[in-house]
Structure 1
Protein backbone atom coordinates (compact mmCIF):
# COMPACT_ATOMS: atom_id res chain seq x y z
CA UNK A 1 0.00 0.00 0.00
CA UNK A 2 2.80 2.41 0.85
CA UNK A 3 4.44 1.85 -2.56
CA UNK A 4 1.18 2.75 -4.29
CA UNK A 5 0.94 5.96 -2.24
CA UNK A 6 4.54 6.87 -3.12
CA UNK A 7 3.84 6.33 -6.83
CA UNK A 8 0.68 8.45 -6.55
CA UNK A 9 2.58 11.31 -4.88
CA UNK A 10 5.31 11.16 -7.55
CA UNK A 11 2.64 11.29 -10.28
CA UNK A 12 1.05 14.30 -8.56
CA UNK A 13 4.42 16.09 -8.36
CA UNK A 14 5.09 15.26 -12.02
CA UNK A 15 1.72 16.73 -13.04
CA UNK A 16 2.30 19.92 -11.02
CA UNK A 17 5.76 20.33 -12.59
CA UNK A 18 4.35 19.72 -16.06
CA UNK A 19 1.73 22.45 -15.49
CA UNK A 20 4.45 24.85 -14.30
CA UNK A 21 6.78 24.16 -17.24
CA UNK A 22 3.89 24.45 -19.72
CA UNK A 23 3.27 27.93 -18.25
CA UNK A 24 6.81 28.88 -19.26
CA UNK A 25 6.34 27.35 -22.71
CA UNK A 26 3.04 29.14 -23.34
CA UNK A 27 4.50 32.47 -22.20
CA UNK A 28 7.40 31.98 -24.60
CA UNK A 29 5.42 31.12 -27.70
CA UNK A 30 2.94 33.92 -27.00
CA UNK A 31 5.64 36.56 -26.54
CA UNK A 32 8.17 35.53 -29.22
CA UNK A 33 6.87 34.91 -32.73
CA UNK A 34 8.20 31.74 -34.37
CA UNK A 35 9.85 30.57 -31.12
CA UNK A 36 9.48 26.97 -30.05
CA UNK A 37 9.69 25.52 -26.58
CA UNK A 38 10.95 22.23 -25.20
CA UNK A 39 9.55 21.06 -21.86
CA UNK A 40 11.45 18.45 -19.87
CA UNK A 41 9.95 16.89 -16.77
CA UNK A 42 12.85 15.03 -15.26
CA UNK A 43 16.38 15.43 -16.62
CA UNK A 44 16.97 17.48 -19.75
CA UNK A 45 17.64 14.29 -21.67
CA UNK A 46 15.29 13.12 -24.41
CA UNK A 47 15.94 9.44 -23.78
CA UNK A 48 13.41 7.07 -22.22
CA UNK A 49 10.67 9.70 -21.95
CA UNK A 50 7.14 10.06 -23.16
CA UNK A 51 7.45 12.48 -26.09
CA UNK A 52 4.58 14.48 -27.53
CA UNK A 53 4.02 17.77 -29.25
CA UNK A 54 1.44 20.51 -28.75
CA UNK A 55 1.83 23.10 -31.50
CA UNK A 56 5.26 24.73 -31.07
CA UNK A 57 5.85 22.95 -27.75
CA UNK A 58 7.65 19.60 -27.60
CA UNK A 59 7.36 17.74 -24.29
CA UNK A 60 9.62 15.07 -22.84
CA UNK A 61 8.07 13.64 -19.70
CA UNK A 62 8.73 10.92 -17.16
CA UNK A 63 8.01 10.62 -13.45
CA UNK A 64 10.26 13.21 -11.78
CA UNK A 65 10.78 15.80 -9.06
CA UNK A 66 12.22 18.51 -11.30
CA UNK A 67 11.56 20.07 -14.66
CA UNK A 68 12.83 22.70 -17.06
CA UNK A 69 11.66 24.55 -20.15
CA UNK A 70 14.04 25.71 -22.85
CA UNK A 71 13.32 28.26 -25.52
CA UNK A 72 14.23 27.42 -29.09
CA UNK A 73 14.41 30.73 -30.93
CA UNK A 74 15.43 30.60 -34.60
CA UNK A 75 18.77 32.27 -35.32
CA UNK A 76 17.24 34.66 -37.86
CA UNK A 77 15.17 36.29 -35.11
CA UNK A 78 16.64 39.06 -32.94
CA UNK A 79 17.68 38.02 -29.42
CA UNK A 80 14.89 38.05 -26.87
CA UNK A 81 14.49 41.24 -24.88
CA UNK A 82 14.69 41.36 -21.11
CA UNK A 83 10.91 41.95 -21.09
CA UNK A 84 10.34 38.76 -23.13
CA UNK A 85 12.71 36.86 -20.82
CA UNK A 86 10.79 38.11 -17.77
CA UNK A 87 7.46 37.08 -19.34
CA UNK A 88 8.93 33.62 -20.00
CA UNK A 89 10.12 33.35 -16.40
CA UNK A 90 6.85 34.41 -14.75
CA UNK A 91 4.78 32.11 -16.99
CA UNK A 92 5.57 29.07 -14.86
CA UNK A 93 4.71 30.59 -11.46
CA UNK A 94 1.53 32.12 -12.90
CA UNK A 95 0.47 28.70 -14.23
CA UNK A 96 1.24 27.16 -10.82
CA UNK A 97 -0.79 29.67 -8.78
CA UNK A 98 -3.73 29.64 -11.21
CA UNK A 99 -3.72 25.84 -11.12
CA UNK A 100 -3.66 25.88 -7.32
CA UNK A 101 -6.72 28.16 -7.22
CA UNK A 102 -8.65 26.21 -9.87
CA UNK A 103 -7.82 22.77 -8.46
CA UNK A 104 -8.52 23.81 -4.88
CA UNK A 105 -11.94 25.17 -5.87
CA UNK A 106 -12.72 22.00 -7.80
CA UNK A 107 -11.58 19.84 -4.87
CA UNK A 108 -14.17 21.46 -2.61
CA UNK A 109 -16.87 20.09 -4.93
CA UNK A 110 -15.54 16.51 -5.02
CA UNK A 111 -15.37 14.26 -1.99
CA UNK A 112 -13.54 11.04 -1.34
CA UNK A 113 -10.24 9.85 -2.72
CA UNK A 114 -10.51 11.80 -5.97
CA UNK A 115 -11.14 15.04 -4.06
CA UNK A 116 -8.13 14.31 -1.84
CA UNK A 117 -5.93 13.69 -4.88
CA UNK A 118 -7.07 16.93 -6.51
CA UNK A 119 -6.41 18.78 -3.23
CA UNK A 120 -2.93 17.22 -3.11
CA UNK A 121 -2.13 18.34 -6.65
CA UNK A 122 -3.44 21.83 -5.81
CA UNK A 123 -1.11 22.15 -2.83
CA UNK A 124 1.85 20.80 -4.79
CA UNK A 125 1.13 23.56 -7.35
CA UNK A 126 1.15 26.10 -4.48
CA UNK A 127 4.48 24.76 -3.20
CA UNK A 128 5.85 24.88 -6.75
CA UNK A 129 4.72 28.52 -7.03
CA UNK A 130 6.48 29.45 -3.77
CA UNK A 131 9.66 27.44 -4.37
CA UNK A 132 10.20 28.73 -7.90
CA UNK A 133 9.83 32.38 -6.95
CA UNK A 134 12.37 32.14 -4.13
CA UNK A 135 15.69 33.55 -5.45
CA UNK A 136 17.82 30.43 -4.96
CA UNK A 137 19.95 27.97 -6.89
CA UNK A 138 18.46 24.50 -6.60
CA UNK A 139 20.55 21.65 -5.22
CA UNK A 140 22.06 19.23 -7.78
CA UNK A 141 19.39 16.56 -7.20
CA UNK A 142 16.77 19.11 -8.33
CA UNK A 143 18.74 20.13 -11.42
CA UNK A 144 21.24 22.61 -9.91
CA UNK A 145 19.76 25.50 -11.91
CA UNK A 146 18.79 29.00 -10.71
CA UNK A 147 15.12 29.41 -9.76
CA UNK A 148 12.73 31.57 -11.76
CA UNK A 149 12.90 34.12 -8.94
CA UNK A 150 16.70 34.28 -9.04
CA UNK A 151 16.69 34.68 -12.83
CA UNK A 152 14.07 37.45 -12.59
CA UNK A 153 16.11 39.21 -9.92
CA UNK A 154 19.17 39.05 -12.20
CA UNK A 155 17.20 40.57 -15.10
CA UNK A 156 15.90 43.39 -12.89
CA UNK A 157 19.41 44.12 -11.58
CA UNK A 158 20.83 44.19 -15.11
CA UNK A 159 18.08 46.57 -16.26
CA UNK A 160 18.73 48.86 -13.30
CA UNK A 161 22.46 48.84 -14.05
CA UNK A 162 21.80 49.70 -17.71
CA UNK A 163 19.43 52.55 -16.78
CA UNK A 164 22.02 54.01 -14.37
CA UNK A 165 24.73 53.76 -17.05
CA UNK A 166 22.55 55.77 -19.47
CA UNK A 167 21.96 58.53 -16.91
Structure 2
Protein backbone atom coordinates (compact mmCIF):
# COMPACT_ATOMS: atom_id res chain seq x y z
CA UNK A 1 0.00 0.00 0.00
CA UNK A 2 2.85 2.39 0.78
CA UNK A 3 4.22 1.84 -2.74
CA UNK A 4 0.84 2.78 -4.26
CA UNK A 5 0.58 5.97 -2.18
CA UNK A 6 4.14 6.97 -3.13
CA UNK A 7 3.40 6.21 -6.80
CA UNK A 8 0.30 8.45 -6.75
CA UNK A 9 2.22 11.27 -5.06
CA UNK A 10 5.00 10.99 -7.65
CA UNK A 11 2.45 11.05 -10.49
CA UNK A 12 0.79 14.19 -9.09
CA UNK A 13 4.19 15.83 -8.62
CA UNK A 14 5.24 14.92 -12.18
CA UNK A 15 1.99 16.28 -13.62
CA UNK A 16 2.46 19.51 -11.62
CA UNK A 17 6.02 19.80 -12.91
CA UNK A 18 4.83 19.46 -16.52
CA UNK A 19 2.17 22.13 -15.88
CA UNK A 20 4.62 24.57 -14.29
CA UNK A 21 7.17 23.98 -17.07
CA UNK A 22 4.50 25.28 -19.46
CA UNK A 23 4.36 28.53 -17.50
CA UNK A 24 8.17 28.71 -17.36
CA UNK A 25 8.60 28.11 -21.09
CA UNK A 26 5.98 30.79 -21.79
CA UNK A 27 7.97 33.18 -19.57
CA UNK A 28 11.38 32.67 -21.14
CA UNK A 29 10.07 32.50 -24.71
CA UNK A 30 8.73 36.06 -24.54
CA UNK A 31 11.97 37.82 -23.65
CA UNK A 32 15.60 36.84 -24.28
CA UNK A 33 16.58 38.08 -20.82
CA UNK A 34 13.72 36.48 -18.88
CA UNK A 35 14.43 33.78 -16.30
CA UNK A 36 11.88 31.64 -14.50
CA UNK A 37 11.71 29.73 -11.23
CA UNK A 38 9.47 26.75 -10.57
CA UNK A 39 8.59 25.80 -7.01
CA UNK A 40 6.84 22.57 -6.15
CA UNK A 41 5.30 22.91 -2.72
CA UNK A 42 6.15 26.07 -0.79
CA UNK A 43 8.26 28.99 -1.98
CA UNK A 44 11.12 27.81 0.22
CA UNK A 45 14.32 26.83 -1.55
CA UNK A 46 15.59 24.81 1.40
CA UNK A 47 15.57 21.01 1.44
CA UNK A 48 14.56 20.83 -2.23
CA UNK A 49 16.26 19.37 -5.26
CA UNK A 50 17.58 22.29 -7.33
CA UNK A 51 17.52 21.69 -11.07
CA UNK A 52 18.90 24.23 -13.56
CA UNK A 53 17.53 23.98 -17.09
CA UNK A 54 19.05 26.95 -18.90
CA UNK A 55 17.06 30.02 -17.87
CA UNK A 56 14.65 27.92 -15.78
CA UNK A 57 15.54 27.00 -12.20
CA UNK A 58 13.40 24.37 -10.49
CA UNK A 59 13.07 23.72 -6.76
CA UNK A 60 11.57 20.26 -6.55
CA UNK A 61 10.03 18.12 -3.86
CA UNK A 62 7.06 15.78 -3.65
CA UNK A 63 4.11 18.18 -3.59
CA UNK A 64 0.41 18.73 -4.21
CA UNK A 65 0.87 22.30 -5.44
CA UNK A 66 3.32 24.37 -7.39
CA UNK A 67 3.88 27.73 -9.02
CA UNK A 68 6.12 29.49 -11.48
CA UNK A 69 7.38 33.05 -11.42
CA UNK A 70 9.89 35.17 -13.30
CA UNK A 71 13.08 35.33 -11.24
CA UNK A 72 14.30 38.65 -12.69
CA UNK A 73 11.03 40.57 -13.10
CA UNK A 74 12.64 43.87 -12.06
CA UNK A 75 15.06 43.69 -15.01
CA UNK A 76 12.27 43.25 -17.59
CA UNK A 77 9.79 45.67 -19.12
CA UNK A 78 6.20 45.36 -17.83
CA UNK A 79 4.27 42.50 -19.40
CA UNK A 80 1.60 43.29 -21.95
CA UNK A 81 -1.90 41.79 -21.83
CA UNK A 82 -0.87 39.25 -24.48
CA UNK A 83 2.29 38.23 -22.57
CA UNK A 84 0.32 37.77 -19.34
CA UNK A 85 -2.29 35.70 -21.16
CA UNK A 86 0.37 33.50 -22.79
CA UNK A 87 1.99 32.93 -19.39
CA UNK A 88 -1.34 31.93 -17.82
CA UNK A 89 -2.40 29.51 -20.59
CA UNK A 90 1.11 28.01 -20.85
CA UNK A 91 0.53 25.67 -17.90
CA UNK A 92 -2.80 24.23 -19.05
CA UNK A 93 -1.48 23.83 -22.59
CA UNK A 94 1.57 21.93 -21.31
CA UNK A 95 -0.72 19.72 -19.22
CA UNK A 96 -2.86 19.06 -22.29
CA UNK A 97 0.19 18.15 -24.38
CA UNK A 98 1.45 15.98 -21.50
CA UNK A 99 -1.89 14.20 -21.44
CA UNK A 100 -1.86 13.59 -25.20
CA UNK A 101 1.74 12.35 -25.29
CA UNK A 102 1.34 10.06 -22.28
CA UNK A 103 -2.01 8.73 -23.46
CA UNK A 104 -0.45 7.90 -26.82
CA UNK A 105 2.60 6.32 -25.17
CA UNK A 106 0.42 4.20 -22.88
CA UNK A 107 -0.86 2.28 -25.90
CA UNK A 108 2.63 0.88 -26.46
CA UNK A 109 3.24 -0.20 -22.87
CA UNK A 110 1.62 -2.99 -20.92
CA UNK A 111 1.47 -4.16 -17.35
CA UNK A 112 2.28 -1.90 -14.42
CA UNK A 113 4.26 0.55 -16.59
CA UNK A 114 1.34 1.06 -18.96
CA UNK A 115 -1.02 1.51 -16.01
CA UNK A 116 1.24 4.13 -14.41
CA UNK A 117 1.61 6.01 -17.72
CA UNK A 118 -2.14 6.06 -18.43
CA UNK A 119 -2.79 7.27 -14.88
CA UNK A 120 -0.13 9.97 -15.28
CA UNK A 121 -1.90 11.00 -18.49
CA UNK A 122 -5.13 11.23 -16.51
CA UNK A 123 -3.42 13.35 -13.85
CA UNK A 124 -2.24 15.76 -16.55
CA UNK A 125 -5.74 16.01 -17.98
CA UNK A 126 -7.18 16.59 -14.50
CA UNK A 127 -4.66 19.37 -13.78
CA UNK A 128 -5.37 20.98 -17.18
CA UNK A 129 -9.12 20.93 -16.62
CA UNK A 130 -9.16 22.01 -12.98
CA UNK A 131 -6.58 24.77 -13.45
CA UNK A 132 -8.88 26.41 -16.02
CA UNK A 133 -11.83 26.57 -13.59
CA UNK A 134 -11.94 30.05 -12.00
CA UNK A 135 -11.59 29.48 -8.25
CA UNK A 136 -9.19 29.97 -5.34
CA UNK A 137 -7.30 26.88 -4.23
CA UNK A 138 -7.73 25.79 -0.60
CA UNK A 139 -4.78 26.42 1.77
CA UNK A 140 -3.41 22.86 1.50
CA UNK A 141 -3.14 23.33 -2.30
CA UNK A 142 -1.40 26.69 -2.24
CA UNK A 143 -4.22 29.11 -1.30
CA UNK A 144 -3.92 31.08 -4.54
CA UNK A 145 -6.03 31.81 -7.61
CA UNK A 146 -6.28 29.17 -10.33
CA UNK A 147 -5.04 29.92 -13.83
CA UNK A 148 -8.69 30.20 -14.89
CA UNK A 149 -9.43 32.82 -12.24
CA UNK A 150 -6.32 34.79 -13.18
CA UNK A 151 -7.27 34.63 -16.88
CA UNK A 152 -10.82 35.79 -16.08
CA UNK A 153 -9.53 38.68 -13.95
CA UNK A 154 -6.98 39.63 -16.63
CA UNK A 155 -9.68 39.77 -19.31
CA UNK A 156 -11.97 41.81 -17.05
CA UNK A 157 -9.17 44.26 -16.27
CA UNK A 158 -8.26 44.56 -19.97
CA UNK A 159 -11.90 45.30 -20.88
CA UNK A 160 -12.13 47.88 -18.10
CA UNK A 161 -8.98 49.61 -19.39
CA UNK A 162 -10.24 49.46 -22.98
CA UNK A 163 -13.51 51.15 -21.99
CA UNK A 164 -11.64 53.82 -20.01
CA UNK A 165 -9.53 54.68 -23.07
CA UNK A 166 -12.54 54.81 -25.44
TM-score strictly above 0.5: yes
Unaligned runs of 5+ in 1: none
After the TM superposition, which parts of structure 1 deviate over 4 Å for at least 4 consecutive aligned residues?
Answer: none
Q: TM-score by structure 1 length?
A: 0.96
Structure-to-structure mapping, 1:35-46, within 5 angstroms: 35-46=34-45
Give CA-to-partner distance per residue, 1:40-69, whole Å, 9 cap, x none: 111111011000100100000000111100
Counterpart of 1:93 in structure 2 is 92
CA distance in 1, matches of 2:157, 2:38: 27
Q: TM-score by structure 2 length?
A: 0.97
Give CA-to-partner distance per residue, 1:71-100, whole Å, 9 cap, x none: 123534321112111111110000000110
Contact 1:16 1:128 survives alignment (8 Å):
yes
Counterpart of 2:66 in structure 1 is 67
Contact 1:13 1:64 survives alignment (8 Å):
yes
Equivalences, count: 166
CA distance in 2, matches of 1:74, 1:42: 21
CA distance in 2, matches of 1:85, 1:77: 13
Counterpart of 1:165 in structure 2 is 164
Counterpart of 2:30 in structure 1 is 31
